[in-house]
A and B are shown apart, each in its own frame.
Chain A
Amino acid sequence: MNFIRVNMNTKTIKVEAMPDEYKGIGGRGLTSIMINKEVPASCDSLGPDNKLIFATGMFCGTNMFNSSRVSIGAKSPLTGGIKEANVGGTSGGALGKLGIGAIIVDGKPKAGDLSILKLDLEGNAELIDASEYKGMRTYALVEKLHAKYGDKNAVLCIGPAGEYMMKSASIQGSDTDKRPCRAAARGGIGAVMGSKGLKAVIIPQNGKKADPLVDKETFNEATKAFAALVKANPFEGELLPAFGTPALVAPVNLMGAFPCYNATKSEFEGWQKISGEALANTIKERGGQTGHVGCSQCIIRCSNVFNDKNGKYVSSSIEYETVWAMGGMCGIDDLDVIARMDFLCDDIGLDTMNTGVAIAVAMDSGYRKFGDKNAPIEIMDEIAKGTEMGRIFGDGPSAVGKHFNNPRVAAVKNQSIAAYDPRGMIGNGVTFATSTMGADHTAGNMVAMYLGHILDPLKKEGQLENSRENQIFCAMADSMGLCLFAMYSIAAPDAKEMFIRLINARLGTSWKVEDLRNLGVRILKAEKEFNKKAGLTAKDDRLPEFFMKEPLPPHNVVFPFTDAELDGVHNF
């Protein structure tokens, strides 16, 4: 595996062998451990000393299924702490096949300078002037890049929001249909890419330089056995291909935990119009697609393609969190508006969650009415143009709350919560508060434990411990380059042993089951250490006050944990 180091001051590129200390660590493990070591924690996140690191997961480039996730890390301009956001699509697998462990971008070019980083089949890279693409939205950009450099390339890129260095800016990745609709959405990671003057990374998908598997036979046999587990699971084998992640709309509403109208209610009266079932029916009627393969080598197929009434493409893929942020949070029960907003976020290069919650805070402040279907589209136009209001919205819900002097902002470390109210699923509240990443639904989500009767969503027993273990699990899982949905099968009997066989056959190591947890702990410790050096304190591991003050109907409860209890979550 190689590292590609790119300096944007001098426009120089160095390819080097991955140092021994980083061997056997991929994805989030690699980005977080490197950032903690190499980035001065007090640096300006949009300045020359921050580093933007694209790291392939451990299985990227192999024939393992669902193995095309790349982690992107940096100091976050949104949270002020460490950030890792990962994205599927085609780029993780493509980088792995080129034998690339990480691309590390540092420095900062002179203002207005814009480049593309183009990789070749030898795993080398060059910087190309990108002034002609300045201000371009992602769909048009990717079409142009494919026309010029070949449409077999995977692309990671930013839209106008990233160029403006807005704090909700995402990095978009191309999917299997060559559309930039997969997002490393969170933490303003796209703003860091914008600060580096990097518009896109172009990666050939037909590389042949992946590190060879140490024990191919065992690897292939364990891959097959693990795939059989995934297929046999009703969630991954049936539910996700049929409905995608919006299958969550029904259960979370029916448990009274779907934050809507800026988290003043928890059961959205229009939920049946925007549920996974309604979405699948609409998609079918209009000739779209459920069970879509969004990412390379995927066998689960959670993605979908949403068309308008005339059968014309609108967006892919409509996810649960977007349905919530653009729908329930804004009081909008219309899938066409939600899908349009999903497309606009991808095209402008924005996190749908941070943007939807920012709009909900504005509605809660009287800027527009809840349920106004035109308001979100108008706001997106402001963001794309970079107007004064647009820049406030593009910086996310905390910036909007500050502007309107409204403290009801559902965010932690300035990053919006996801689609689970911390009062209706209190363990998710613990994760939102204490995650090193700011509020995050992929950092330790407990919803399956509630639905599976392992925990009661409203009782304190077991929540702190299980949030901790889930956070450790997710840190480890984010390092593998596998989609989280594939990783969930590890809970099946004997699956952990099978997974260890895969790792050892891949690397020639002698990992044991406990090493999975050890890796997760090591990553979280590095992230916490960085956050501490960056000036974050226990006070940043708190939910906004209204979750402790305003009882949420229908259960009429508040978030019950004390500060001291939250402070104990990461006592590994």
Chain B
Amino acid sequence: MKVRVQLFGVLGRKLPPYSSAEGVEIVMPDGSTAGDLLEFLKIPDAWAPAIAMHSRLLRPEDMLTDGADIRIFQSVHGG
């Protein structure tokens, strides 16, 4: 499966040569989950990542959809 990933917050800066304008296309084995994607991108829990696909937040065990736009950002408080 192929997904297009966009990174927000300081994640892009932590993972060069990521370009925020284009995002990045990633090929993953079929049946991959949100957790697999984080592992593939080497984004640890300590960076407080959150993943959105189709306007929903994904849990680590949720499956990715082929061809989806995936956005990864960092958890934030409001105030």
Interface residues of A (CB under 8 A from B): 234-235, 238-239, 242-243, 245, 247-248, 250-251, 254-256, 267, 275-277, 320, 418, 420, 441-442, 445, 447-448, 450-453, 457, 483-485, 488, 554-555
Contacts and interface: CB of A to CB of B under 8 A. Distances in A.
B52 interface: yes
Interface in B36-64: 46-48, 50, 52, 54-57, 59
B2 interface: no
B78 A267 contact: no
21 contacts: A234-B46, A235-B74, A235-B76, A235-B77, A238-B9, A239-B76, A242-B10, A245-B78, A248-B78, A254-B55, A254-B71, A255-B52, A255-B57, A256-B55, A256-B56, A275-B8, A277-B8, A320-B78, A451-B48, A451-B76, A453-B50
B76 A254 contact: no
A485 B79 contact: yes
Chain A CB within 10 Å — which of B20, B52, B71, B74 has the most? B74
B9 A555 contact: no
Contact of A267 (B8, B46, B55): B55
Identify the 4 closest CB pairs spanning chains A and B, nearest first.
A445-B78, A254-B52, A256-B55, A451-B75
Contacts of B71: 250, 254
For chain B, which range describes its interface: under 10, 10 to 19, 20 to 34, or 35 or more residues? Answer: 20 to 34
A238 B73 CA distance: 13
A452 B75 contact: yes
B58 to A, nearest CB: 9
A234 B77 contact: no
A420 B78 contact: yes
Interface string B1-41: 00000001110000000001000000000000000000000
| Chain A residues touching B, majority SS | helix
B5 to A, nearest CB: 13
Contacts of B78: 245, 248, 320, 418, 420, 441-442, 445, 447-448
Contact of A441 (B9, B52, B79): B79
B77 A250 contact: no
Nearest to B8: A250
Contacts of B47: 234
B74 A239 contact: yes
A466 to B, nearest CB: 14
Contacts of A452: 48, 50, 75
Q: Most chain-B CB neighbours within 10 Å: which of A276, A451, A554? A: A451
Given A250-B8, A451-B50, A445 B55 contact: no
B10 A445 contact: no
Contacts of B46: 234
Contacts of A418: 78
Given A243-B9, A255-B52, A453-B59, 20 more contacts: A234-B46, A234-B48, A238-B9, A238-B10, A238-B74, A245-B79, A250-B9, A251-B50, A254-B52, A255-B56, A256-B56, A418-B78, A447-B76, A448-B78, A451-B75, A452-B50, A457-B57, A484-B79, A485-B79, A555-B55
Contacts of A483: 79
B73 A445 contact: no
Contacts of B76: 235, 239, 247-248, 251, 447-448, 451
B78 to A, nearest CB: 4
Contacts of A255: 52, 55-57
Contacts of A441: 78-79
B74 A247 contact: yes
B73 to A, nearest CB: 5
Contacts of B77: 235, 445, 447-448, 484-485, 488
A277 B20 contact: yes
A491 B30 CA distance: 38
A453 B9 contact: no
Contacts of A445: 77-79
Nearest to A242: B10
Contact of A239 (B9, B52, B56, B57): B9
A235 B20 contact: no
Contacts of A239: 9-10, 74, 76
Contacts of A238: 9-10, 74
B57 A450 contact: yes
Nearest to B51: A254
